[in-house]
Chains A and B, each alone.
Chain A
Amino acid sequence: MNSPVKSKTIRRKLDLRNGRVDMSHGSGGRAMADLISGIFREALANDLLDQGNDQACFPTPAGSRMVMTTDGYVVSPIFFPGGDIGSLAVHGTVNDLAMAGAKPLYLSASFIIEEGFPFADLKRIADSMGEASRQAGVPVITGDTKVVERGKADGVFISTAGVGVVPEGIALSGEKARPGDKVLVSGTLGDHGVAIMSSRENLSFETEIVSDSAALHTLVADMVATAGPAIRLMRDPTRGGLAATLNELAHQSDVGFRISENDIPVRPEVAAACELLGLDPLFVANEGKLIAVVAPEAADALLAAMRAHPLGENAAIIGEVVEDDQHFVQMTTGFGGGRIVDWLSGEQLPRIC
């Protein structure tokens, strides 16, 4: 973290129960050091972070290809069923790396905190981030904090970066889908978006649905081990859901998709909530699901490998890549007719990640 201060030299306890972040916690002085050591350093502890430098220095495997990603998290509400902004920031960034088929190595995190934000909430977020990072085995090795005046942010925003290494022989990319390839999803769609929606204060609406927020890199590792170069591409369908992702890929690969509504896994409670709210689960965000496009001959083996992993037990083959210069995503509806699954016009849900 910036302005490193050994936790042994200065250690004054923050009032974690009633205290709040004020402008002095961003001023580079002692208050900031207390905030960093009292909340972040403890929650995110690891050897590289503990060195307390403004950057982290780490070895890289010789000759390997690296991937890097960056992401911002502004979700509202900050705490939601199944997660919070802290765990979401870890999972989202790990997943962006994993979608390259990579093994994620390290993360960075930058916190923009609104004046008046309670220490207790900040600690809860940092602890959750630490827990998610330890579970994933991907440490946060450098970070930064800034405090902005009340009204200039909404509680806390987190910005991350991540790096990872890509195994030999794997080169996934959005332009690689070819007609005849199969399309797989790793599980039920729409859980995250509906969990966020149901926890919004202006909706008197209760469900048992929790966000699917999860780090997918171990699932990806199993998939890569099984199907290797037969996997053309992977992507996590976050904002805009399956629909946005398939439309993006159709343009990138200059193809079309044909999918079957009956094969797309959606939890009945998510379908019911979407029905009430006038949403379509295909357009709702996910934070722990991936889409894979794979050569047809490897599809069954890949599906079996995905189903053998706890994060892929509801995986399914939902359709295939077709030739189409219009780049349409066509779907056979459960009713038996056909339709397009188009880009979303406007927004379905505000600030979901």
Chain B
Amino acid sequence: MKYVDEYRDGAVAADLAKAIAAEVRPDRTYAFMEFCGGHTHAISRYGLEDLLPENVRMIHGPGCPVCVLPVGKIEEAIALAKRPGITLCTYADLMRVPGAKGESLLKAKAAGADIRMIYSSLDAVKIAEANPEREVVFFAIGFETTTPPTAVALKAAEAKGLKNFSIYCNHVLTPVAMRAILDMPAAPGEAPIAIEGFVGPAHVSTIIGMEPYNEFAEKYRKPVVIAGFEPLDVMHAILMLVRQVNEQRSEVENQYIRAVTREGNVAAQDLCDEVFELRESFEWRGLGAVPVSALKLKDAYASYDAEKRFATTTIVAADNPACECGAILRGQKRPSDCRLFGTACTPETPMGACMVSSEGACAAHWTYGRFRDHQKTARRAS
């Protein structure tokens, strides 16, 4: 596969692994967070952990939009989809996420609700156009990467004069969430935040550019290296982070130069500014309520806002109190430290944010990496 295999080359990976091993200082540890689920997925799927020195630890961040969406939002969407006359359109990976009572969009669909899986936000517009007697609601979620396509869908619906299309907007903001993690107080008795640097978002950065990360380098003194989602990108970014830490630098560097520019995609930013505004606060699964961390439609587009059109009620549903997602996202605990992991909480029955999608820290460890826990146990036993 041209333009893809080049970034998955095992021989280059071995060279990068050697370089990282040569540059890490044996007398200290390195802990970096990859914010995005795309990076978590690459690390797990390609087995990067086996290529990194033991004293380099990757902390898997909350950058998976399905994972951080609170259960209450799923319940609201299910309630909306069950109303007569409504067709709910959404991206496929939301379908399986269970609500508080174990119901999911997939189950609601089986029970008769009209829920459609779509691959593009514009498919929802097409469905609205083809079904003028239905109220078509696009359940929009995601970080800055998926926000512009939602704006494009809205503009397309407006241009077509569609009156039966609306958006249930749950778009969230990456830099705010990164700040929330760094500001999170440790629980009593817990060590302070372990994160020493970030593998910065790939696709999000193609939209927002590099500037929004400056505060992490300047105020928090944490290096950020924006990296692509291919495994060699991640290895390269880790090497760059190790160098920054060793040289006591904290800068925003761009490894993903083939896609990310300093200013980002200005046209997309302008379109989003036109359509969306900040919410005062938004509930994140795993992080709790985070001020100004999400977007809603501006009043000028109120007629496209499903929350206003259908007067949705906010449903609050708490996660299991034994769930350790918060500490795992801060890097203070590992998935296997949580007593729910692999027992009550599995990808089939997720109890917390990190288990919901394969990009979450716990699901990735369960699906791809849990054999290492058994290897460690076996080593200790022998």
A310 on the interface (CB 8 Å rule)?
no
Which residue of chain A has its CB nearest to the CB of B123?
A202
B44 on the interface (CB 8 Å rule)?
yes
Return chain B residues, CB-CB under 8 Å to A340: 367-371
> Which among A330, A332, A340 has the greatest number of chain B C-beta atoms within 10 A?
A340
What are the interface flags for A316-342 relative to B under an 8 Å C-beta threshold, 1 for contact and 0 otherwise? 000000000010101011111111101
> Which among A330, A335, A342 has the greatest number of chain B C-beta atoms within 10 A?
A335
Tell whether, in the assembled complex, residue A339 and residue B369 are in contact, meaning their CB atoms are under 8 Å apart: yes
A339's partner among B10, B44, B96 (CB-CB below 8 A) is B44
A271 on the interface (CB 8 Å rule)?
yes
Tell whether, in the assembled complex, residue B1 and residue A275 are in contact, meaning their CB atoms are under 8 Å apart: yes
B381 on the interface (CB 8 Å rule)?
no
Q: Which of B48-56, B172-180, B203-211, B291-299 contacts A (4 or more CB under 8 A)?
A: B48-56
B4 on the interface (CB 8 Å rule)?
yes
Instruction: For the complex, give the distance between the alpha carbons of A334 and B13 in Å.
Output: 10
B119 on the interface (CB 8 Å rule)?
yes
A336's partner among B13, B96, B374 (CB-CB below 8 A) is B13
Instruction: For the complex, give the distance between the alpha carbons of A340 and B47 in Å.
Output: 9
Instruction: For the complex, give the distance between the alpha carbons of A339 and B358 in Å.
Output: 14
Tell whether, in the assembled complex, residue A333 and residue B46 are in contact, meaning their CB atoms are under 8 Å apart: yes
Instruction: For the complex, give the distance between the alpha carbons of A326 and B371 in Å.
Output: 8
Q: Report the tally of A-B residue pairs with Cβ distances under 8 A.
A: 69
B231 on the interface (CB 8 Å rule)?
yes
Which residue of chain A has its CB nearest to the CB of B230?
A335
Which residue of chain B has its CB nearest to the CB of A262?
B10
Return chain A residues, CB-CB under 8 Å to B118: 202
Return chain A residues, CB-CB under 8 Å to B367: 340, 342, 345
B197 on the interface (CB 8 Å rule)?
no
A63 on the interface (CB 8 Å rule)?
no
B348 on the interface (CB 8 Å rule)?
yes
Instruction: For the complex, give the distance between the alpha carbons of A335 and B4 in Å.
Output: 13
CB within 8 Å for A335 and B370 given contacts A203-B119, A271-B1, A345-B348: no
What's the nearest-Cβ distance from chain B to residue A75, in Å?
18
B45 on the interface (CB 8 Å rule)?
yes
Tell whether, in the assembled complex, residue B369 and residue A333 are in contact, meaning their CB atoms are under 8 Å apart: no
Return chain B residues, CB-CB under 8 Å to A203: 119
Residue contacts A-B, CB under 8 angstroms, 29 given: A202-B118, A202-B119, A268-B1, A272-B1, A272-B4, A275-B4, A326-B371, A326-B374, A330-B371, A333-B45, A333-B47, A334-B8, A335-B8, A336-B13, A336-B50, A337-B46, A337-B49, A337-B50, A338-B47, A339-B44, A339-B45, A339-B46, A339-B47, A339-B368, A339-B371, A340-B367, A340-B368, A342-B366, A345-B348
A346 on the interface (CB 8 Å rule)?
yes
Which residue of chain B has its CB nearest to the CB of A272?
B1
Return chain B residues, CB-CB under 8 Å to A342: 366-368
What's the nearest-Cβ distance from chain B to residue A43, in Å?
36
Instruction: For the complex, give the distance between the alpha carbons of A202 and B366 in Å.
Output: 32
Tell whether, in the assembled complex, residue A338 and residue B50 are in contact, meaning their CB atoms are under 8 Å apart: yes
Q: Summarize A's interface: helix, strand, loop or mixed.
A: loop
Tell whether, in the assembled complex, residue A337 and residue B347 are in contact, meaning their CB atoms are under 8 Å apart: no
CB within 8 Å for A345 and B347 given contacts A203-B119, A335-B231, A336-B13: yes
B289 on the interface (CB 8 Å rule)?
no
What's the nearest-Cβ distance from chain A to residue B271, in Å?
23
Return chain B residues, CB-CB under 8 Å to A346: 96, 106
Which residue of chain A has its CB nearest to the CB of B117?
A202
> Which among A268, A272, A338 has the greatest number of chain B C-beta atoms within 10 A?
A338
CB within 8 Å for A335 and B347 given contacts A268-B1, A271-B1, A275-B1: no
B315 on the interface (CB 8 Å rule)?
no
CB within 8 Å for A335 and B13 given contacts A271-B1, A328-B371, A340-B369: yes
Tell whether, in the assembled complex, residue A336 and residue B10 are in contact, meaning their CB atoms are under 8 Å apart: yes
Return chain A residues, CB-CB under 8 Å to B1: 268, 271-272, 275
Q: Across chains A and B, which 8 residue pairs bring their CB atoms closest together, nearest first? A: A337-B47, A335-B46, A337-B50, A345-B347, A339-B368, A338-B47, A339-B47, A336-B10
Instruction: For the complex, give the distance between the alpha carbons of A127 and B196 in Å.
Output: 67
Residues of B9-51 contacting chain A, CB below 8 A: 10, 13-14, 17, 44-51
Tell whether, in the assembled complex, residue A338 and residue B371 are in contact, meaning their CB atoms are under 8 Å apart: yes
Instruction: For the complex, give the distance between the alpha carbons of A345 and B359 in Å.
Output: 13
A335's partner among B10, B368, B371 (CB-CB below 8 A) is B10
What's the nearest-Cβ distance from chain B to residue A276, in Å?
10
Return chain A residues, CB-CB under 8 Å to B4: 272, 275
What's the nearest-Cβ distance from chain A to residue B329, in Å?
21
